[in-house]
Amino acid sequence: MAPMTDDSRFGLARSVTLAGPLRLDGGARLAPVEIAYETYGSLDADGGNAVLICHALTGDQHVASTHPITGKPGWWTRMVGAGKPIDPARHFIICANVLGSCLGSSGPGTIDPATGAPYAMRFPVITIRDMVRAQAILLDHLGVGTLAAAVGGSMGGMQVLQWAATYPDRLRSAVAIASTARHSAQNIAFHEVGRQAIMADPKWAGGDYYAAGDPPAAGLAVARMAAHITYLSEAGLTEKFGRRLQARDAKSFGFDADFQIESYLRHQGISFVDRFDANSYLYITRAMDYFDLAEEHGGLLAGAFQGAKRTRFCLVSFDTDWLYPTAESRAIVHALNAAGAPVSFVELSSPFGHDAFLLDVPELNRVVDGFLRAGEDR
């Protein structure tokens, strides 16, 4: 697929417009396909050192560079950078904004060339596989045939597993952290609450809020607050906040944020709306809810990995993650065993719940580093 435009002259932060069409699981054909991405390091002469980083629901391509809106460091500088397990000195690192998101890749906020207006809810519903397909055509564009590794946590891990199911011949190693092979009823339920919060906000206006410049911030903030609770463990919340009150020493007997956990959550909600699009939140949560790798294999997950016998897998879970608990990773390990694919698995201990994959967990770095280096001794 020839690029229509590629502004890679701007350095690391790149975007490309591919002509498409990209055939989507829902039946639609998306054209053109815009993909915003970053790269770090350079591709070896033999093309063997490419590592794809797959980001989570509200993540983006700024894996190890300053976020353009928040001004904060990249979301995975603990894992990606000089001297880190994924190192530009050794790897050609690619991280692309997922399809449906709002940081430059095609999504509901993108202009629909057929109308000249944002797609909004006319953007086709996408799946995790559609995100992976878009990544595959980006790799084609970049001249990357086979990935040394795909690495991701949470929804990033779903994409990694989907890579193994859809393009096993292009994937030598797969690292899926704090993830799952299918969304559970409880996972879907939490996402549905978030979607209902957004759609209940009158400013959502059926998704057509872009022209007015007045997005459904209140609804999106509530969605983020609800989701954020699921990213943290009960024990972690107790350790971090407990029942501690705000600066003033007594309860207000009112509805201000008396407890530190309340103001923390409100801050999480309010700051999120500055950097994320409400419609993208609807589309990406939908893609996650639709995710079930075993579905096309009669419910047998091993069927999804039949082509991936030559891919090496590394699964990591966290003991306090109740969003995608260890049992989910273990089910994947069993399926990989049944499919005859090599897999190493570890449950790490952390008080921080699901969020641990983004935090300072030295054991996680050691596991990923060791796994990737072992795969490079070829």
Give the DSSP H or E segment for 268: helix 260-275
What is the distance between the alpha carbons of residues 333 and 340, in angstroms, rounded to a whole number? 10
Q: Which of 154, 173, 179, 280 is catalytic?
A: 154
User: How would you classify the pairing of strands 33-40 and 92-96?
Assistant: antiparallel
Among 255, 274, 298, 377, which residue sits at the site for its own copies (rule: CB under 8 A)? 255
243 is in an annotated binding site: no
Q: Which of 101, 106, 321, 350 is catalytic?
A: 321
How many residues touch its own copies under the rule CB under 8 A: the total is 56
Contact present, 220 and 273 (Cβ < 8 Å): yes
Q: Which of 55, 62, 191, 354 is catalytic?
A: 354
Q: Would you count residue 300 as binding its own copies (CB under 8 A)?
A: no
Least CB distance to its own copies at residue 198 (A)? 10
Q: Which stretch binds its own copies (CB under 8 A): 45-53, 134-142, 153-161, 218-226?
A: 218-226
Least CB distance to its own copies at residue 42 (A)? 39
Least CB distance to its own copies at residue 55 (A)? 23
- Of the candidates 221, 189, 226, the one whose C-alpha atom is nearest the C-alpha of residue 204 is 221
What is the distance between the alpha carbons of residues 326 and 270, in angstroms, rounded to a whole number? 31
Displacement of CA 71 from its chain's centroid (Å): 20
Give the DSSP H or E segment for 141: helix 128-142
Q: Would you count residue 266 as binding its own copies (CB under 8 A)?
A: yes
Nearer to its own copies, 240 or 275 (CB): 240
Nearer to its own copies, 122 or 309 (CB): 122
Given phi > 0 = left and psi -120 to 50 = alpha, else beta, which region is 81?
Answer: left
Q: Which stretch binds its own copies (CB under 8 A): 76-84, 89-97, 222-230, 330-338?
A: 222-230
Residues 113-152 that bind its own copies (CB under 8 A): 121, 124-125
What is the distance between the alpha carbons of residues 54 and 56, in angstroms, rounded to a whole number? 7
Nearer to its own copies, 84 or 286 (CB): 286
Contact present, 100 and 134 (Cβ < 8 Å): no
What is the distance between the alpha carbons of residues 142 and 119, in angstroms, rounded to a whole number? 27
Q: Other CB atoms closer than 10 Å to residue 228's CB: what's the count?
A: 16
Sign of CA dihedral 319, 323, 327, 332: negative
Name the one residue in this structure whose structure tokens are 């030295």.
362
23 is in an annotated binding site: no
Q: Would you count residue 4 as binding its own copies (CB under 8 A)?
A: no
Q: Which stretch binds its own copies (CB under 8 A): 55-63, 146-154, 162-170, 197-205?
A: 197-205
What is the distance between the alpha carbons of residues 155 and 53, in angstroms, rounded to a whole number? 11
What is the distance between the alpha carbons of residues 36 and 325, in angstroms, rounded to a whole number? 31
Nearer to its own copies, 218 or 335 (CB): 218
The DSSP 8-state label assigned to residue 147 in this structure reads B
Is residue 154 part of the annotated active site? The answer reads: yes
Q: Which stretch binds its own copies (CB under 8 A): 65-73, 236-244, 336-344, 361-369?
A: 236-244
Least CB distance to its own copies at residue 69 (A)? 22
Displacement of CA 47 from its chain's centroid (Å): 25
Nearer to its own copies, 232 or 364 (CB): 232
User: How would you classify the pairing of strands 92-96 and 111-112?
Assistant: unpaired
Residues 61-120 that bind its own copies (CB under 8 A): none
Q: Which stretch binds its own copies (CB under 8 A): 145-153, 191-199, 354-362, 366-374?
A: 191-199
Q: Would you count residue 321 as binding its own copies (CB under 8 A)?
A: no
What is the distance between the alpha carbons of residues 99 and 62, in angstroms, rounded to a whole number? 15
Contact present, 176 and 321 (Cβ < 8 Å): no
Task: Tell me the catalytic residues.
Answer: 154, 321, 354
Site residues for its own copies per CB under 8 A: 25-27, 121, 124-125, 182-186, 188-190, 192-193, 195-197, 199-202, 218-219, 221-222, 225-226, 229, 232, 234, 237-238, 240-243, 251, 253-255, 257-259, 261-262, 265-266, 269, 282, 286, 289-290, 292, 322
Binding-site residues from annotation for substrate: 224, 355
Which residue ranges are tagged as binding site? Answer: 224, 355
